Amino acid sequence: MKRREFIGKSLGATLLAGAGLSLGTTPDLFASESSSSKAGSYDLVAVRGGEPEVMLDKALEALGGMQKFVKKGQKVVVKPNIGWDKSPEFAATTNPALVKRIIEHVYKAGAKEVIVFDFTCDNPKKCYENSGIKKAVEEAGGVLVSGNNEADYKPVSVPKGIKLKEAKEHKQILDADVVINVPVLKSHQGSTVTISMKNLMGIIWDRGYWHRNDLHQCIADFATYRKPTLNIVDAYRVMMKNGPKGVSVSDVKLMKSLIVSTDIVAADAAATKLFGLEPRDIDHIRIAHEMGVGNMNLDKLNIARLTV
């Protein structure tokens, strides 16, 4: 598919009506009845049962289309998890097919430029290539930049932070009109799970400080300052243990799910349900909710539950 070509055919998303459907550890998220609200009025969309591209198409249709979030001529940064030198089947990094489809949607909405990067833990060249994201970005017409140069990070203040009062944030984020946060749902030895809020550690330089000074509080603190335009949680393959890097493909469960929301706390709360946990049991989700960053109470949200 060329840069601005896109198959715009509506997929006619089908709302689940709470018929006792379940998928592995997901019944708490998908067993509830979907509301019948019109497209564009949902707080969160949860999709299951399809390939990443198709699930994204359905989710965006329910939310009113990417044009609701991206306007003509804007600069957009797409922030996946590309932190590890792992191929897609390990689920250590965001699914490249999802990243590619996001970029296609963004250009179709009229964006001038799409930047993709992460501050990697392993060798950045190997992370970008072996994750499949380099190829995906290039095929979609995006621009892949480095996240591993300290000179590219600028000081910012976090006025509402408790433990985190300041940080160095990547200049591409600071220059962006729109930020799309695209974490992969997986286990994490330090934070139990890593999802949308935790994924933002890949846009700051001094993340070692977070680990030394109450990781959960720092994650929540930063979320009071940086709120992405859209959070798209990749739960196609989910690393259930040995995260964040993983040991083998046996750590991974095929869930074929996707969660999309403008509310970063709600997105993480829903993804936690997919993982078989309660949002209140993940400290940074609970703290961010209490700090007013977003809403972890899914029963208070207008949720579209879709199936492919």
Percentage of the chain surpassing pLDDT 90? 87
Residue 239 has pLDDT above 50, yes or no: yes
Give the C-alpha separation, 152 to 172, whole Å.
Answer: 8
Q: Is residue 12 within a helix (H) or strand (E), and if so which, with residue range?
A: none
pLDDT at 38: 75
Range of the structural domain that residue 280 is part of? 23-50+70-307
- Taking only the tens place, the pLDDT of each residue in 154-191 is 999 999 999 999 999 999 999 999 999 999 999 999 99
The CATH code of the domain that includes 95 is: 3.40.50
Residue 253 has pLDDT above 60, yes or no: yes
* pLDDT band at residue 115 under the 50/70/90 scheme: very high
Q: Is residue 269 part of a domain?
A: yes
Q: Is residue 3 part of a domain?
A: no
Q: How far is CA 147 from CA 79, 144, 202, 228, 274, in A?
A: 10, 9, 8, 18, 30
Q: Is residue 102 part of a domain?
A: yes
Give the C-alpha separation, 136 to 80, whole Å.
Answer: 12
Q: Which residue has the tokens 């220059």?
A: 175
Q: Is residue 96 part of a domain?
A: yes
- Taking only the tens place, the pLDDT of each residue in 3-42 is 333 333 333 333 332 222 233 344 478 866 666 677 779 9
- Taking only the tens place, the pLDDT of each residue in 51-100 is 999 999 999 999 999 999 999 999 999 999 999 999 999 999 999 999 99
Mean pLDDT, range 278-287, rounded to an integer: 97
pTM of the model: 0.91
Give me the chain's average pLDDT, please. 91
Q: Is residue 263 part of a domain?
A: yes
Q: Is residue 188 part of a domain?
A: yes
* pLDDT band at residue 2 under the 50/70/90 scheme: very low
Residue closest to 119 by CA, chosen among 65, 61, 90, 77: 77
pLDDT at 96: 98
Mean pLDDT, range 244-259, rounded to an integer: 96
Q: Is residue 6 part of a domain?
A: no
pLDDT at 35: 62
pLDDT at 114: 98
Mean pLDDT, range 129-152, rounded to an integer: 98
Mean pLDDT, range 201-227, rounded to an integer: 97
pLDDT at 162: 98
Amino acid identity, position 216: H
Q: Is residue 157 part of a domain?
A: yes
Mean pLDDT, range 238-256, rounded to an integer: 96
Domain count, the chain: 1
Mean pLDDT, range 113-117, rounded to an integer: 98
Longest alpha-carbon distance in the chain: 54
Long-range contacts of 298-301 (CB under 8 A, 24+ apart): 298/29, 298/44, 298/266, 298/269, 298/270, 298/273, 299/32, 301/43, 301/44, 301/263, 301/266
